[in-house]
A and B are shown apart, each in its own frame.
Chain A
Amino acid sequence: MLILNKPMGTDIPSSQITPEAIYQERRLFFKSLGIAAGSMAFLAATARQSLAGMTALPDFMRANNHLSDALTPFKHITSYNNYYEFGTSKSDPAEYAHTLKTDPWSITIEGEVAKPITLSLDDILKLAPLEERIYRLRCVEGWSMVVPWVGIPLSALLKKANPNGNAKYVELISVQRPSEMVGQRSNILDWPYNEGLRLDEAMHPLTIMAVGLYGKVLPNQNGAPIRLVVPWKYGFKSAKAIVKIKLTEKMPVTSWMKANSNEYGFYANVNPEVDHPRWSQATERGIGDGFLSKRRKTEMFNGYAKEVESLYRGMDLRRYF
């Protein structure tokens, strides 16, 4: 179980990128297999990348969750990024993120835990089987993408450190290396970037740590080598290039809360009824939908209400935005 640490920057030869059509076809193939076997579980049969020379991720389970919309093309997912560590323009990460060295890499889990632990990336990949998850990523700026991530549940990592009775929150801290991350040389945000979740949110099965995208190693501009993905929250919650996880009793103050607490709350659940002062949250533009397509209606909890609304029962979501 070894991730080949091949830099996956903007210079990937196009021959190494699975065209979306083939990718979708393969998924369809496995889907039909699953139906034929009369069991969706069969869908989880491991699928190996079949294109020669594409030694990327270890085997992983193909996604069995389906969104109605098509996947956002790989080129858009990897060229339109908010990753201020590499600059504030959407095109900066694709241009500058290759300078980050993602090997070796480890994550330290500390704070309110029975046994603080440092796990290498290889250790982490052994904690649970890799799974593909197709999630909608909804940015607070009013756009969304449909992304096929590959990762493991965050809960698998947290369990390894064994949170104690005081642990109520989980703080996730991104890497700080100004020499490798050009955007960190200015104080546009309070570095290192940090985000936070309530422990029950962090343990939720939908919350994953992603190491892959489109069946390949996660490109640097998307948060390589390992990033958080919380699909029912706005994109900024899903911190990239994580090096430290701290379990705490008190709610962590995140980078965006420090930058502007009126606009960015701790919860940041996708909610079409609670507007951001700048952007309407009622609708969103689908990236890659093309220019004559309509905005789509934003769904409560980004379409994951059934799975997560019980976490927030009785809470005033206007107040805890």
Chain B
Amino acid sequence: MHLQLKLATTKKLVFVLALWPLVSIGLQAYFDQLGANPVELIERHFGKWTLIFLCLTLAMTPLRKLTHNGQWVLYRRMLGLFVFFYSTVHLLCYVGIDYQFAWQDMKDDILKHRYVLVGFLAWLLLIPLALTSTKKMIARLRTKWKKLHRLVYVIAILGLLHFFWLIKKDMTQPLIFTGVIVVLLALRIDSSAFKAKKST
């Protein structure tokens, strides 16, 4: 009972903390700190936070293995849903603020520019993951659920490409995200390879 209460509290805390990107951009807007190109700043803000939450989501499984503590995985779904949430806000900024619902211009932009295209594809692939995140769907899909949710690796690659192809010259930031994601994925592979070795 006590433990459950604690879990519920920490979950709430994580949820509130995860709203920070909304608060911080709100504060920047309130104090007139959005700069010369506020549209670009807001778009990139939510794009970056989408990638940060993607990294956090991908960190839960390796953390469970490293710390031998199953609790980490309890936050994975919430963090994953925040990836979907912030990517949707990012997309809505593009649709509503940047392009002001000029559908034809957006269609041209998506089809002509590969960085826009891969970003859009990544968002499309997030939809089935968000829809199947309920307990009911997990129970119903069972082994298929696990396979379906491996899409997150494809999404991570598309998300990184989206960032790389946007940048003109200085690749520092996308390289940092790539480094983090590579480490997080390597931690999984290593431990499973280690296990396989041990069992032979």
Contacts and interface: CB of A to CB of B under 8 A. Distances in A.
Do A and B interact with each other, yes or no? yes
Contacts of A278: 113, 115, 165-166, 168
A292 B97 contact: yes
A11 B170 CA distance: 28
Interface stretch (B30-38, B47-55, B77-85, B153-161): B30-38
Tell me what chain A mostly uses at the interface: helix, strand, loop, or mixed. loop
A287 B36 contact: yes
Interface stretch (B104-112, B174-182, B189-197): B104-112
Given A278-B113, A291-B97, A292-B97, A285 B169 contact: no
Tell me what chain B mostly uses at the interface: helix, strand, loop, or mixed. helix
Interface centre among A75, A260, A278 (most CB of B within 10 A): A278
A29 B165 CA distance: 48
A311 interface: no
A143 B37 contact: yes
Contact of A80 (B37, B39, B105): B37
Contacts of A90: 35-37
A128 interface: no
Contacts of B114: 277
Contact of A288 (B36, B109, B168): B36
B170 A295 contact: no
Interface centre among B36, B98, B166 (most CB of A within 10 A): B36
Contact of B169 (A84, A277, A279): A84
Given A291-B97, A292-B97, A294-B100, A280 B34 contact: no
Contacts of A277: 113-114
A259 interface: yes
Contacts of B115: 278
A88 interface: yes
B167 to A, nearest CB: 9
A317 interface: no
Nearest to B99: A295
Contacts of B169: 84, 88, 188-189, 259-260
B174 to A, nearest CB: 12
Interface centre among A76, A283, A290 (most CB of B within 10 A): A283
Given A279-B113, A291-B34, A285 B108 contact: no
Interface centre among A80, A260, A291 (most CB of B within 10 A): A291
A206 to B, nearest CB: 25
Contact of B37 (A188, A279, A287, A295): A287
Contacts of B113: 275, 277-280
A44 interface: no
Contact of A282 (B34, B97, B105): B105
Interface in A61-80: 75-76, 79-80
Contacts of A75: 36
A259 B42 CA distance: 28
Interface in B99-148: 99-100, 102, 105, 108-109, 112-115
A79 B33 CA distance: 12
A79 B36 contact: yes
A161 to B, nearest CB: 33
A141 B105 contact: no
A291 B168 CA distance: 24
Nearest to A142: B40
B152 to A, nearest CB: 26
A220 B97 CA distance: 32
A91 interface: yes
A135 to B, nearest CB: 17
Contacts of A285: 37, 39-40, 98
Interface in A84-100: 84, 88, 90-91
Nearest to B114: A277
A174 to B, nearest CB: 16
Given A280-B112, A287-B37, 19 more contacts: A76-B36, A79-B35, A84-B169, A88-B169, A90-B35, A90-B36, A143-B40, A188-B170, A260-B169, A277-B113, A278-B113, A280-B113, A282-B108, A283-B105, A287-B36, A291-B38, A291-B42, A291-B97, A295-B105
Interface of B: 34-40, 42, 97-100, 102, 105, 108-109, 112-115, 165-166, 168-170, 172
5 contacts: A80-B37, A143-B37, A280-B112, A294-B100, A295-B102
